Amino acid sequence: MSNTAPAAILGVSIMAAAAIYVAPSVIADYQNQNIINTTNGAVRLGEVYNEALKVRMEMKDSETGDVFISVDEGVDDFYKAARSEFEKIVNARNKGEKSEKDKISVEAALLKVHMTITLDTYIHYRSEYQPSFSLTIDQHEISAGVNSNINNVLMQVQEYLNNVKSGNPQNSRIIKT
């Protein structure tokens, strides 16, 4: 009998042992790819570095479509960012007024036209395979009529966003990192 048979058996045994040793890590890597199924197909994220719940809001004139306020911010910081944008508009309007009684305040400003508020709530991911990926989780449209208090409308939008956030059982975490 030649020495090739035992050598072949030894070689096959070493390869089988290596495969058994490596298999669990290959399976773990495959299972931890953080794959999200969307209507357009699956998105492989890999390791997720950052996940943020955000909202894109546009308040625009219902008739003309002119944008009054536009904000793209984290859900928790939405009201602060939207109010800041609104304050810029109020301050610009008040610059031309000489009399204090003709100036308007942020708290008292009312809409002169009917507005439509479009909200797109999404999760923004930074990950291993997708440097920037946004997954829309909610789209909502709100109407605000003439003489609606703008500040109150923005607070109502924040309440709606808080409800969207609380509807997520893991405090807005979709993927565990």
Confidence check: pLDDT of 35 > 70: yes
pLDDT band at residue 169 using 50, 70 and 90 as cut-offs: very low
Confidence check: pLDDT of 5 > 90: no
pLDDT in tens, 55-83: 999 999 999 999 999 999 999 999 999 99
Considering the chain, what is the average pLDDT of its residues?
84
Confidence check: pLDDT of 25 > 70: no
- pTM, whole model, 2 decimals? 0.73
| Dihedral angle sign, alpha carbons of residues 56, 57, 63, 67 | negative
Q: What is the mean pLDDT of residues 100-115?
A: 89
